[in-house]
Structure 1
Amino acid sequence: MGRRKIEMKMVKDSNSRQVTFSKRRNGLFKKANELATLCAAHIAIVVFSPGGKPFSFGHPSVDVVVQRLLNWEMDPKDETNSHVDVEQGAKVEQLNEQLIDLVNQLEIEKKRGEMLDKALKAKGLSKYCKKSINDLGLDELLHMKASLEKLRENLKSHIDDMEASSSLLLLKGATKENDG
């Protein structure tokens, strides 16, 4: 299939726009990190998501680059604080990466929650989730119990399938290492 050229215009669908933003932001930060590593460049990037949330990348850190920009008269060859700046920059970079990972995990969990809500509605179980368990009648509780037991069986089956697949992948990886 290959890559195709995407027309440069604003993405209309807000969900697609958020996904595009996340992917392009990560790509932008990755390229900036490569440029900083390869060329020893000081880089700072600040972007705001379509929802208004700020994201930043800086090498050695955003603060160091901004301070350098604000104090332009300062001699760039003055490296009295460069060791501290590099350590702080590495720590900030690590924290930025953790933040990006957590935001990505949050997005995945939000989508998972939406999928679970849709599944509950499709199964007709969403009415149980809106009521307190103390407000359910005997028939509703028995139906919910049966549904939960079926869910547990499905989960156990899915976990068993995943463990089997994982074992096969590990075995395949081990045979490749032995062949190589």
Structure 2
Amino acid sequence: MANTRKKIWGKQKIDIKMIENEDDQLITFSKCRLGIYKKIGKPFTFSHPSIESIDNRFLNENIPVIDNTHALIEPHRMVRINKLIQIYNEVQSQMDASNETQKVLAQQITSGADFNRWWETPLDQLNPRELYERYSHFSELLNLFHIFRSKKVAIASSMVAPTGPAEDAPTPRYDHGHQ
């Protein structure tokens, strides 16, 4: 067993000796040095789509590289730019609308209008448009009350009545001092 060598390099003891090869000295203390040596033999294009252009750049430095990848990438880039411009324009229009709303609200606040208590304004002081708005507000409020009430009724009806000996027990009577 002592002669068999482990395949895992993680916790093995490394003999301390001088390494003659300077390239090996650079990765001496790396646990994945075998992986580094394996990857050296494979070409890497440095994010360029064609390996021929990389090969030509290193082998024949005088020959200019004809780059036709720009023609392939440019339409995709323009589509992406157009989408971003469209998103920017939508956000800009939303921001402009928000600014206008903010200006209107600021003007209403400075004019002294109290919109938190809109229901307290007398009806004879309202014009027809304001009366219609008041009617729609009350209709909406009434609908919300109906929805809330129907939810409460549904919850109450879905509750199960308690069963057991407490059902047969008489209900207590309170006479509050009257005989």
TM superposition score normalised by structure 2: 0.31
Question: When you count strand as a share of all residues, which structure comes out higher?
Answer: 1
| Rg larger for | 2
Under a length normalisation based on structure 1, what TM-score does the superposition of the two structures give?
0.31
